[in-house]
Amino acid sequence: MKVPTMAEYMAEGKQPEVLFWVGCAGSFDDRAKKITKAFVKILNNANVEFAVLGAEESCTGDPAKRAGNEFLFQMQAVTNIEVMNAYEVKKVVTACPHCFNTIKNEYPSLGGNYDVVHHTQFLKSLLDDGRLTIEGGHFKGKRITFHDPCYLGRANDVYEAPRELIRKLDVELVEMKNCRKKGLCCGAGGAQMFKDAEPGNKEVNIERTEQALEVQPDIIAAGCPFCNTMMTDGIKNKEKEDSIVVQDIAELIANAQDL
């Protein structure tokens, strides 16, 4: 696995094609690290010149902003923007819809202007350019349902890129009763990931998992590390972890290719 940093590129006097923004979950969460690695393997395999910031990356500030701490958010944003601008970053790809949304939409008015894409959009563009081929591999014929991340779908109208990638896997894509614009949240957004839920009669991720189980999938595909965690917990709660797996689209593609 080759994972060059922006600093290394700069030392060589070169610019990578794209900055891979790993995000906090992708860097530290054991489950999400697998998504990070799967994506890197695909990038390596497709000979994409990318770099990461490594220790120079910091939280985008998304959970702080959504929790109401505008000051902390802007401190994070301005610091990150300084780093990215110093490296003259043009294009950013990330596997986290929260990082994607924040850098794409909220950084520009603070001086950070980049072409930001979600990893499913990036993979789709590699596919369209012929730099990446996707084959079904051992997923052929399986039933897959895709859980729309709120910050990718409703927040930014990205619905089709992940679905087109899934279809390339020669699988049967089945839609939950709430999908696309009507997708149901996994329960982690708006900083809920970091606190207990308010009193209610059910957890949101359980409700969403039940919707997924209704379509009897073999695989629940996710496009967000937080959704991934929430859906995985839901499947465990329903004691279905032996029959159903939750995987990021990058993992599905990497696994199909035995990368």
Partner 1 sequence: MEYIPNILFAILLIAGVGYFTKNVRKLTRNIKLGRDVDRSDNKSERWKNMAMIALGQSKMVRRPIAGLLHIIVYVGFVIINIEVLEIIIDGLFGTHRIFETVIGETVYGFLIGSFEILAVAVLVTVIIFWLRRNVIKLKRFLSAEMKGWPKSDGNIILYFEVVLMTLFLVMNASDIPFQEAGHGNVISQYLYPLFEGTENIEMANMVERTAWWLHIAGILIFLNYLYYSKHLHILLAFPNTWYANLKPKGEFVNDAAVTKEVMLMMDPNADPFAAPAEGEDEGEPEKFGASDVQDLHWVQLMNSYTCTECGRCTSECPANQTGKKLSPRKIMMDTRDRLEEVGKNIDANNGTFVDDGKALLNDYITPEELWACTSCNACVEACPVNIDPLSIIIEMRKYLVMEQSAAPSELNVMMGNIENNGAPWPYNQMDRLNWKDEN
> Whose Cβ is closer to partner 1: residue 14's or residue 182's?
182
- Cβ 25 to partner 1, closest distance in Å? 9
**Cβ at position 256, least distance to partner 1 in Å:** 21
Report how far residue 116's alpha carbon sits from residue 107's, in angstroms, rounded to the nearest whole number: 11
| E strands in 161-202 | 172-173
CB neighbours of residue 30 within 10 Å: 6
Report the 10 Å Cβ neighbour count for 120: 29
Q: Minimum Å distance from CB 44 to partner 1?
A: 12
Q: Could you tell me how far CA 189 lies from the centroid of its own chain?
A: 13
Shorter beta-carbon distance to partner 1: residue 30 or 242? 30
**Closest CB to partner 1 among residues 130, 200:** 200
Q: Which two tokens stand for residue 112?
A: 């950070």
Instruction: Decide whether 106 or 218 has the Cβ nearer to partner 1.
Output: 106
Q: Tell me how far, at minimum, the Cβ of 171 lies from partner 1, in Å.
A: 27
| Residue 147 backbone phi and psi in degrees, to 5 | -95, 115
Tell the smallest beta-carbon distance from residue 184 to partner 1 (Å): 6
H/E segment holding residue 128: helix 119-128
Nearest distance, CB of residue 246 and partner 1, angstroms: 18
Its sign, for the CA torsion 201, 203, 205, 209, is: negative
Of the two residues 24 and 127, which places its CB atom closer to partner 1 in the complex?
24
Contact assessment for residue 252 and residue 34, using Cβ atoms and an 8 Å cutoff: no
Tokens of 196: 């207990």
Q: How far apart are CA 166 and CA 85, in angstroms?
A: 34
**Which of 3, 46 has the CB closer to partner 1?**
3
